[in-house]
A and B are shown apart, each in its own frame.
Chain A
Amino acid sequence: EAGVTQSPTHLIKTRGQQVTLRCSPISGHTSVYWYQQALGLGLQFLLWYDEGEERNRGNFPPRFSGRQFPNYSSELNVNALELEDSALYLCASSLRGQGDEKLFFGSGTQLSVL
């Protein structure tokens, strides 16, 4: 069974550009979560999608947005990139989105903003 897959694995962008990150959850999982892991800052919750709808959002500006498609895959979009957006972006999925479930993580997308 395939795990959570993320693409691309690495990205280099410049300030002001826009970026789209992609995530495919484990087959049968309806919930997708996005986290930002910046150096020395641990995991910061970005977004939670379940059944195609945004269920919760972390303390990030509106230029961070996303969506979930009917096949439960998800995109994270970041507009007007800033240097501090450089981080590992992790996607996770869970079966039912109940919050107390095990999260399955992808290997992440490493974003570098120059």
Chain B
Amino acid sequence: SQQGEEDPQALSIQEGENATMNCSYKTSINNLQWYRQNSGRGLVHLILIRSNEREKHSGRLRVTLDTSKKSSSLLITASRAADTASYFCATPPYNQGGKLIFGQGTELSVKP
């Protein structure tokens, strides 16, 4: 079953612009995680936000979490061509052994 759904499915921006991706999920969670996947590569963990946190920053990344709306957003500021990748949100539902359930992903293209 699919837990997270990202929006938009694809996003194309110019270098230097900000990119915002959204994620909605269905069940209660302990945390929500964002991963990046470059074409042909594995997933790289970007950031984890816990259910009692509302906002978290890591470098050019800003993640927000609204548990009342069951949604999260990932903002990449001052984007670079190297940020071109697919971005996935993933959640470990309560009492399911810590496994992550992934959404379909947002494909981000940053044009130089």
* A joins B in a complex: no
What is B's interface to A at a CB cutoff of 8 Å?
none
What is A's interface to B at a CB cutoff of 8 Å?
none
